[in-house]
Each structure stands twice: as structure tokens, then as C-alpha cells.
Amino acid sequence: AGDGTRFPGERRTVSGRFSGGDGRLVHVGDDGELRDFGYPLTGRTGLVRSRIGLAVGDEVAWLDEAETTQRYVGDTALVETVHETPRATVTRHDVTLGDAHLTRASVEFGEEASGGDGTTGGDAAGPEDASLVVYARFAPDGRDDRVGQLRYDDAVEVYHADEHDFLASATGFADLRGQLPATFPELLADDPTDLPRDRDGDRYEEERLSGEGIADVPFADGVATVATLLTDRAETDREAARERLDELFADLDSVDALADAAADSLPAVPESAPARDSVVADLRVLSLLSSPSGLRIAGPDFDPYYEHSGGYGYTWFRDDAEISGFLLGAADAVGVDLDDWHARSARMYVATQRPDGSWPHRVWPRDGALAPGWANARIEDGPDVDYQADQTGSVVAYLARARAAGVDVDGLDATLVAALAGLDRTLEPDGRPVVCQNAWEDSAGRFTHTAATFLEAYSELGRRGEGLAVDALDDPDAVPGADALPEDLVAHARDRAREVYDALDDLWVPERGCYAVRETLDGGIDDRLDSATLALAAAHRSYDAVGPVDDERL
């Protein structure tokens, strides 16, 4: 409310930084707000709104009203934010470690604010009645109703059923109160509601029946540290959660300790790496977007209600496999050890393959379960038009390369054999893939881009598939098309690659000197330019190892 450029339900992240790397993903706004974006990665909703301020006596200076600078500390995902309030400079360090997030705030008062000569009763850290004010709204299990709180000396536990979230302080609480969410009249009002509200003595139940809390956190030697912890009661009991918080406060009691802990979440990049700053930034981003399983979301989901998109907090196998392939090719070149990343990606691709050898539209990255989508025709009854065949092609190409590079995960050979049968079943007799959806997910036809992914997949199997055999399948009869596969799968893949290579001529537009976007549903040629067809370059590079590419094509 109050911003004409926002749309309903938007979770805006156009400024600020993200912290994470082990599943939980927290946005650290330059206005001081913390918000969880890691539900797709962990299954826990966590913080949906927060606000942090500096209190001196009865006055509160909210950090979202202060001038701010922000940066990442070194190569890590530790976020440093400096807020210049009228009374003091507040320097925050925020880091997300697994399911926990810590905020360390140090305060430096100006000479006038602390009295200079000590007349206010303050010391070098400022007035004695200064505190950090933390307003936090949790939505355990994604709920903002039927939520309760449990109170402890140094923590509050917010829960609905399975998800139990904690807000804790290293220095305890000088004051702690709950607050009911915005009321219906407030939601319908023309003006936005300023939160948190003042204390309401007539609403005693809000102290306990709410996901919202306002805490006054005392400073000790000018420092206040708070933490949030997201848990599942089936995995972490209450005592273990509180012990974890105590350990975090004890072990991470300085900026250096926070930086060291943050550094452990990212692969080390040697100083000699080419374009080192870019490599560090890329690995940080990929780490932030990754679930512990290894699958990645397309991006923090700013549009979970599909107001202007189909959402972003999901794993598309096309995107994920292409990223995996780039990492596989780049790791040695830049001197970064990504073996664990390669293996966990391959492991999840094996686990998420469908019985027909294909991969679904998109999944939840935390466990590979089917996510909401609109291109799952191979699961539904009816024609297979709403299926994105290029996603399967991208996964096959990566898995073949990973296998040749020594990535060894259970079921890899069987997955590749089933995928080969699946590719064959979606290849028409003319050598091009069937009618399906495109990479942009907005139309159907027989796309050049889809053909390029098939060319690359078949070529990689033909190049790196030595030793693959149908008997790698536990039950060949359960895999559609497996009975049609020949004994020599490598030769078969090479033959298929040649078929696709030759069939691409059908999509060449000589008068424009380019490849068409697609053959339309009625058999016409859509000769528009499409950046997705640039996938032909990588596909021909792979094919050249088994082909070769002729002079006319070059």
C-alpha cells in the first residue's frame, strides 16, 4: 500500500542483499527489514515482515528512515549495513547459517547524544536506556492465523503445528510483547497501517495468539545480537533449538567469527582465478539459490500469487541442468572444487526422473516433489503438447558429461538409458522433436531450440556413453521404448544425433540467413528471430565430436 508501482502480493527485492547458502534464504533490506524467501528451499516460511529500530528512552528511530550503505563482507554472504540515525550510527552484520539467521548490531553514539561529559548517565556506548527494537512477524506453516507463542527469558517461540520459529537475544529482553496482525478494517483502509502498533492493554490475548512480537534488546558494550531459527518439530525439539541458539551466540560473538562462519558456506576461490570477482559473485548467487539437495530456484519469488508471472521459487530442469553444465566445465578452469555440487545435482536428476525417462515441468528444490506448473502433459491424460521436451535434453547432456568426468551416483547409467528411450519416443520420423512447448513457455510448435537440445543430448551420449547398456535398467519392461533400443547404445545415439543434425535444414530460412523459431502447429514456418536458437552453437560443438559439422553448416 502507498506505492503506485507495487502490485498486490509483491515481495519486492530491488534493493538490499541476500544471505544464505545452506537452504534458508533471507533478504536483508537496506531499510533494515529481514524477510525469508527460503520456503521453496526448506519448506519453512519463517519471517514475513520485520522492522528494526534504535530506542533511546521513549523515542524510537526506525532504521528504515535512516540513510544507509550496504555491502557484502569479502567473498562471503555476510551483509554489512550501516544506518546513520539522528542519534547514532548503527552498524549491522547479518548472516544466514543453515536454518538460523543472526543480526549483530553495534551502536556508536555521537558526542552530543551520549552527553559528552557523561551528564546523561551514558558511557562510550551511549545512553544506558538505549536498546535495539525488533519487530518480527512469523508465519509458521505459512499461516497468519491460529498461531501461538511460548515465552522464555531470552527467546520467544512462534508456532502453528509443525513449523516452530524462534526469536532470541544474546542479552535477553528488556521487554517483549505480542501483537495481532492487521485487522480487516486496516487492510481495507486507504492509508497504510504503521506497524508495529503501540501496546494495547485491552487486547490481552494478542500477547500469545499471534505470530508477531516486539522486543527491546539491551546493548552490552554497545552490541546487541539477535537470532531467528526456523525448525520443524519432527526434526528439532524445543530443547535442541534453544541449545542451538545458545551455541550460536557463544561461538559467533564477533564480526570476524561471523565472517569465518559465512566463508564456510561458499567454495574457496583462489586468488589466481581469472575474473575472480565475477567468479566469487556467481558462486555466491548460486549458493544462495540452492537447496541442500542441490537443486536451485530460478530466483527469490517476488510474485508468489502469480500476479504477473508463473512464479520463480521453483526448479526448472532446463535452467538447473544448464547451470550444472557450466559449473562442470568451469570448475577446473578457475581452480574451484565443486565436486560435491556436481554430484548432488546428478543425484537429484536421477531421483526426479519420471518412469517414461523424461523430467517434469518444475519441482520443489528441497525434495524434488512436483511443483505447480502448466506443462505436465506427460503426467496428465490427453495429448503431450504441453510438455517441454528441451528440459529432458538439457538434463541428459549434463548427466552424460558428469558421468564422463567421474561423477558417480547410484542409478546414473539406468537414468541415461531410460532418458535415451524417452528422447527416441519424442523424436518424429523426420528427425525433429515432437510438437511441444518452447523454452519461453508461451507457445507450442516444433522449435529449433528444442531440436538443439536433442542434438546436444544425443551427441553427448554418443561421445561419452561408453558402457551404457539396456541391462542397467532394473526392469526394462517398465520403461516405455526401452524394448526398441539396440544393443550398441553409443552407436544408436550417434545415429540419432545425425538425424537431428540433418533435420535442422528444415528450419533454415535461406532468404533471411537464419534458423526459424519453429514449425507452427499447422505446418508453417515461423521465421522470426529467437535468442533461444543460439543453443545451436553449443549443440554443434558437441556434435562436432561425433559428426563432424560440414562446411555448409559452418
Query: For residues 493 and 486, what is the distance between their CA atoms, to the nearest angstrom?
Result: 10
Residue 25's domain comprises 17-263
Q: What whole-number distance in Å separates Cα of residue 416 and Cα of residue 439?
A: 22
Residues 404 and 530 in one domain: yes
- Average pLDDT of the segment spanning 510-524: 96
- Phi, psi for residue 145 in degrees, rounded to 5: -125, 165
Task: Name the DSSP letter for residue 432.
Answer: S
- Write out pLDDT tens, residues 425-479: 999 999 999 999 999 999 999 999 999 999 999 999 999 999 999 999 999 999 9
Q: Is residue 192's pLDDT more than 90?
A: no
Average pLDDT, integer, range 370-387: 95
Whether pLDDT at 422 is above 50: yes
1 part of a folded domain: no
Q: Answer yes or no: do 258 and 159 share one domain.
A: yes
Alpha-carbon distance 182 to 200, whole Å?
14
Range 59-62, long-range pairs (CB < 8 A, 24+ positions): 59/87, 60/133, 61/85, 61/86, 61/87, 62/32
CA angle, corner 42, sides to 268 and 413, nearest 5? 70
What is the per-residue pLDDT across 388-404, written as a single tens digit (0 to 9) for each? 999 999 999 999 999 99
Type of residue at 433: P
Identity at 330, one-letter amino acid code: A
Q: Cα separation of 364 and 290, whole Å? A: 11
**Residue after which a domain boundary falls, among 230, 263, 296:** 263
Among 222, 243, 263, the domain-final residue is 263
Confidence of residue 180 (pLDDT cuts 50, 70, 90): confident
Could you tell me if residue 427 is inside a domain? yes
> Do 324 and 248 sit in the same domain of this protein?
no
Q: Which residues 6+ apart lie within 8 Å of 18 measured at CB?
A: 25, 26, 27, 28, 37, 77, 288, 300
365/472 same-domain check? yes
Give the pLDDT of residue 121: 41
SS3 479: coil
Question: Which residue, of 248, 263, 278, is where some domain finishes?
Answer: 263
> Residues with Cβ < 8 Å from 503, sequence gap 6 or more?
430, 431, 432, 451
Write down the pLDDT at residue 122: 41
pLDDT at 21: 86
- Predicted pLDDT at 189: 80
pTM of the complete model: 0.92
Please compute the mean of the pLDDT values over residues 40-68 and round it to a whole number: 95
Whether residue 73 is contained in a domain is answered as yes
Instruction: Give residue 205's pLDDT.
Output: 67
- pLDDT at 124 (0 to 100): 44
Residue 170 has pLDDT above 60, yes or no: yes
The domain that contains 109 carries what CATH number? 2.70.98.10
Phi, psi of 490 (to 5 degrees): -65, -50
Q: For residue 530, give the CATH number of its domain.
A: 1.50.10.10
Q: pLDDT for 453-466, tens place per residue?
A: 999 999 999 999 99
What is the average per-residue pLDDT within 189-197?
75
Q: Over the stretch 244-282, which tens digit does the pLDDT of each residue have?
A: 999 999 999 999 999 999 999 999 999 999 999 999 999
Average pLDDT over residues 544-548: 94
Quick one: pLDDT at residue 215? 96
Q: How far apart are CA 498 and CA 484, in angstroms?
A: 19
Please say whether the beta carbons of 473 and 355 come within 8 A.
no
99 occurs within a structural domain: yes
Give the DSSP letter string of 161-230: SSEEEEEEETT--SEEEEEPPPPHHHHHSSSPPPSSPPP-TT-GGGGTS-SEEEEEEE-BTTEEEEEEEE
What confidence tens digit (pLDDT) does each residue in 105-131 have? 999 998 655 444 444 444 444 688 899
Q: Does 302 fall in a domain?
A: no
What does the pLDDT read at residue 1? Answer: 38
2 pLDDT higher than 50: no
Task: With H, G, I as helix, E, B as strand and everything else as coil, classify residue 471.
Answer: helix
Do 241 and 363 have their domain in common? no
If asked whether residues 181 and 324 sit together in one domain, one would say no
pLDDT at position 193 is 72
Give the span between the Cα atoms of 403 and 391, in whole angstroms. 19
Residue carrying the nine cell digits 513457455: 441
From CA 421, how far away is CA 250, in angstroms rounded?
55
Take residue 538 and report the three cell numbers written for it. 553449443
With a cut of 60, say whether residue 182 has pLDDT above it.
Answer: yes
Identity of the amino acid at 509:
V
Note the pLDDT of residue 55.
96
If you average pLDDT over residues 492-512, what whole number do you get? 98
Same domain, 227 and 351: no
Residues 6+ apart with CB under 8 A from 347: 294, 409, 410
Q: What is the widest separation between alpha-carbon atoms in the chain?
A: 91
Range 332-340 average pLDDT: 95
**Same domain flag for 402 and 518:** yes
| Number of independent structural domains in the chain | 2
Tell me the C-alpha distance between 314 and 298, whole Å. Answer: 6
Residue 297 — very low, low, confident or very high, per pLDDT cuts 50/70/90? very high
Whether residue 97 is found in the same domain as residue 203: yes
Q: Is residue 48 part of a domain?
A: yes
Run of H or E residues at 148: strand 148-151
| Nearest-angstrom CA–CA distance, 245 and 26 | 17
**Which band of pLDDT confidence, cut at 50, 70 and 90, is reported for residue 554?**
confident
Chain segment 306-332, per-residue pLDDT in tens: 888 999 999 999 999 999 999 999 999
- pLDDT score at 117: 46
C-alpha cell at 27: 533478504
Task: Report yes or no on 298 lying in a domain.
Answer: no
φ and ψ at 493, to 5 degrees?
A: -65, -40
Please identify which residue in the block is written with the cell numbers 539396440.
486
Q: Quick one: 167 and 97 in the same domain?
A: yes
In a domain, 310, yes or no: no
What average pLDDT is seen over the chain? Answer: 93
Confidence of residue 206 (pLDDT cuts 50, 70, 90): low
Residues 131 and 194 in one domain: yes
Torsion of CA 451, 455, 457, 462, to 10 degrees: 160
Q: Is residue 390 located within the same domain as residue 258?
A: no
pLDDT at 237 over 80: yes
